[in-house]
Structure 1
């Protein structure tokens, strides 16, 4: 003879385990996504810096200002 109360308790316990597992999986996924967002921000910042350097180089190169080109390149090399 089965006990309906015990069966229900077992189902509730199994559901609680599944929910805890799902919560843990979601927390891990959020941690991974947050790390990826930080990495993406760092890459975007680096792209912006390189874009600035390219912009700073284009004008002096177009004006054939070798001294300014050397200055901009030296400042860039110091920053990396």
Structure 2
């Protein structure tokens, strides 16, 4: 049987795990968003270098839709 202090410690550890899981989920969202923005920048840089206005417009539209 677990003592009061042990049960309290287990509960504290469970809360810490829950908090860490939430932080990991938030970091995953940030990393996904960063990857999306990197894709948009890549889609813009190549057309800008080649002055391909149609591709530039498509990339900007795709970015605006992602917001």
TM-score range, shorter chain: over 0.9
| Two-structure CA RMSD over aligned residues (Å) | 1.5
Q: Which runs of 4+ in 1 moved over 3 A?
A: none
Question: Rg: which structure is higher?
Answer: 1
Q: C-alpha displacement at 1:79, in angstroms?
A: 1.9
> What is the TM-score normalised by the length of structure 1?
0.78
Corresponding residue number in structure 1 for 2:26: 39
Q: Distance in 1 between matches of 2:40 and 2:17?
A: 35
Corresponding residue number in structure 2 for 1:60: 47
| Higher relative contact order (Cα pairs below 8 Å, separated by 6+ residues) | 2
- 5+ residue gaps, structure 2: none
- 5+ residue gaps, structure 1: 1-14
> Alignment length, in residue pairs?
67
> What is the TM-score normalised by the length of structure 2?
0.92
Q: C-alpha displacement at 1:24, in angstroms?
A: 0.4
